[in-house]
Structure 1
Amino acid sequence: MQTGSCECGAVKFEVTGKLRPVVACHCTQCRKTSGHYWAATQVENEQLNITEDSGLKWFRSSNFARRGFCTGCGASLFWQLDGEGATSIGAGTLDGKTDLKTEKHICCADQGDYYDISDGLPQAADLDNSND
């Protein structure tokens, strides 16, 4: 089991399933929400147990997805694509050692002009059927 939380502890969660490798999303929404690009893993909804939700707020960020964040500290925690049955989880919100690796970059067409993607991992111009 993997645990995670926001910075202030008003949102805490446990993950009981296998986490997907990390995908880095460079879309404008992810950059606006996180302050940089969004790096997330993912798990089936049934394998995500939110154990503390006093600070959890969901924001409908588009007509096809919503984002979960903490109203106390502002941490960007979750992303859910409507009807997918899975939740993307900000990789940085997980506690301790995760053994996760970043596998690719998506929405690179929206990448900010202040950084380069130079790690040699695959890059897709758009969502590339990967959900984050």
Structure 2
Amino acid sequence: MKGQCVCGQTTFNVQLKNHDVHVCHCFICRRQTSGVIMTIDIKQGSLQFIKQDYLSIYESSEWGERGFCNQCATILFWRTKDQSYCNVNVFALDEQPKDLNFDMEIYIDNKPEFYSFKNETQKLTESDVVALFNGSNQESSHN
């Protein structure tokens, strides 16, 4: 599956793990997007950049990093530093699968009260996410 940033200067190929869409309510995602980011999991190691002259990586925590185009600022992915897990901005894909399933909200305890989704989703707190990706004995305030 192909994807790209808004300006087309950063392009990639990727294989989706499934068609489940996740929303993140963490402070960084809300600040970057003025809302939430919607992502989809990819198969490990499948993110391959075709054009990457403007690709930048931001170290957002001790265990996570974000990729974006530094020409147009499109957020492209979030991954663990060891690259054992990666998700991509679902709207950076050139075409979204027809059967997308909005199934999970993470950092739900960081979500402001003034908005909500009507879909029934699995909801993970910040500590749930940290435990999943970093082990329960280490700390992080953002992914």
1:29 aligns with 2:45: no
Distance 1:113 1:70 in 2: 31
Q: How many pairs were matched up?
A: 131
Q: CA deviation at 1:113?
A: 3.4
Distance 1:83 1:127 in 2: 20
Unaligned stretches of 5+ in structure 2? 134-142
Distance 2:127 2:12 in 1: 26
Q: CA deviation at 1:127?
A: 5.7
Aligned to 2:37: 38
Structure-to-structure mapping, 1:12-91, within 5 angstroms: 12-19=11-18, 21-91=20-90
Closer, same or farther: CA 127–20 of 1 in aligned 2, 3 Å: farther
Closer, same or farther: CA 122–45 of 1 in aligned 2, 3 Å: closer
1:105 aligns with 2:105: yes
- Percent identical across equivalent pairs? 24
Distance 1:13 1:108 in 2: 30
Q: Runs of at least 4 residues of structure 1 off by over 2 A? A: 16-20, 124-132
SS at match of 2:42: strand
Closer, same or farther: CA 96–64 of 1 in aligned 2, 3 Å: same
TM-score by length of 2: 0.80
Distance 1:20 1:124 in 2: 19
Which amino acid in 2 is paired with 1:3? K
Distance 2:16 2:27 in 1: 29
